[in-house]
Amino acid sequence: MATLTVIRPGMLTTVQDLGRWGLQARGVPVAGPMDLYSHRLANLLAGNEAVAAALEVTLIGPELETDADVECAVAGATFALTAGDRPAPMHARFVLRARERLRFGARSQGARATLAVRGGLAVEPMFGSRATSLISRMGPFDGGALRRGDVLTVATAARRPQPAAGGGAFPGPLAVPRGGTMLRIMPGPQDHMFTRSAYDTLVGERFVVTPDSNRMGYRLSGPPLQHAGSADILSDATPIGTLQVPASGQPILLMADRQTTGGYPKIATVITADLPLAGQLAPGDWVQFRRVSRDDAIAAARTRFAALEAAAR
């Protein structure tokens, strides 16, 4: 089996699959990719099922060396890639030859990329998933980010045929944000705990992702959102994309490594279709919110993932 050795780990590079779903009631976080769309696209390009484990690269990418030929695909944030001494493409499969190094250079757009290798990464699952949960230290490599000298084993066989290069309706890349983005939201589940002016502020003003943000959640800076009463609730479930608001009035957008429950009221939730865009935000980026209906949210999700679903059949 081929292996990939970490020469430089990058800023935050973790192994991720689709996540540890179904165990939140037992206190087990989901984890998984910050940008589900690009994770699935990279696996499709590499010839894998969506469940295959891949690497999520954050802001500054790694340098990896292989001991045998491996087929790769990178999707999501735009990086300058080189395979050995050759430029490597984004959003297309390419071969990294034995003893060559894959280097992630300058990042020009977006915050996170997924590197998939044909066959997927053969790391041991925990509770049925190979995802790294930094908050709970679950997953491969003691539940942490990759470090220099770590070795990743590539599985020997792909789970599905590769798509034909340049094939007609194959999914295109996500239009990743450049400096900020609009995210669509639906109210609640505790929007009744805020003043009307708080919701007007949420959809009428810009917020900025602060440096005190991570895979667990983005702390947003902007006009405070005023509670109608208490800023506390009995802890309840915390879905990805919810905007919880502590007493400070500064919202927190919960992301892939979120805790399973939380005790702050949640004023709104980012719709499924726009979660990949949220996953591409970096500290300093701006975000605005726009309210949509449930029907709009369902239609947007179908549109966002339709080509991925079709290609996976």
Give the mean pLDDT of the chain.
95
Q: For residue 30, give the 3-state DSSP assignment.
A: coil
Confidence of residue 167 (pLDDT cuts 50, 70, 90): very low
Of 119, 107, 154, 110, nearest in space to 43 by CA: 119
Per-residue pLDDT tens digits for 98-142: 999 999 999 999 999 999 999 999 999 999 999 999 999 999 999
Percent of the chain predicted with pLDDT > 90: 93
In this structure, of 34-43, 69-78, 148-157, 166-175, the range with the lowest mean pLDDT score is 166-175
Contacts of 197 (CB under 8 A, 6+ apart): 226
Q: Which CATH superfamily is domain 180-312 in?
A: Cyclophilin-like (2.40.100.10)
Q: Identify the residue with better confidence: 53 or 160.
A: 53
pLDDT computed for residue 165 by the predictor: 45
Confidence of residue 158 (pLDDT cuts 50, 70, 90): low
Single pTM value for the model: 0.94
Q: Identify the residue with better confidence: 166 or 134.
A: 134
pLDDT for residue 162 is more than 80: no
User: What φ, ψ does residue 96 adopt, rounded to 5°?
Assistant: -100, 115
Tokens of 138: 């679950």
pLDDT for residue 243 is more than 50: yes
Q: Where are the domains of the chain?
A: 3-153, 180-312
Mean pLDDT in residue range 53-75: 98
Mean pLDDT in residue range 207-228: 98
Of 282, 268, 284, 287, nearest in space to 206 by CA: 287
pLDDT for residue 170 is more than 60: yes
pLDDT for residue 164 is more than 60: no
Confidence of residue 161 (pLDDT cuts 50, 70, 90): low
pLDDT computed for residue 312 by the predictor: 82
Q: The dihedral of CA 244, 247, 251, 255: what is its sign?
A: negative
pLDDT computed for residue 80 by the predictor: 98
Confidence of residue 197 (pLDDT cuts 50, 70, 90): very high
Task: Tell how far CA 140 is from the center of its chain.
Answer: 17
Cβ atoms 45, 165 nearer than 8 A: no
Of 137, 139, 136, nearest in space to 152 by CA: 139
Per-residue pLDDT tens digits for 253-268: 999 999 999 999 999 9
Percent of the chain predicted with pLDDT > 70: 96
pLDDT for residue 189 is more than 80: yes
User: What φ, ψ does residue 38 adopt, rounded to 5°?
Assistant: -70, -35
pLDDT computed for residue 166 by the predictor: 46
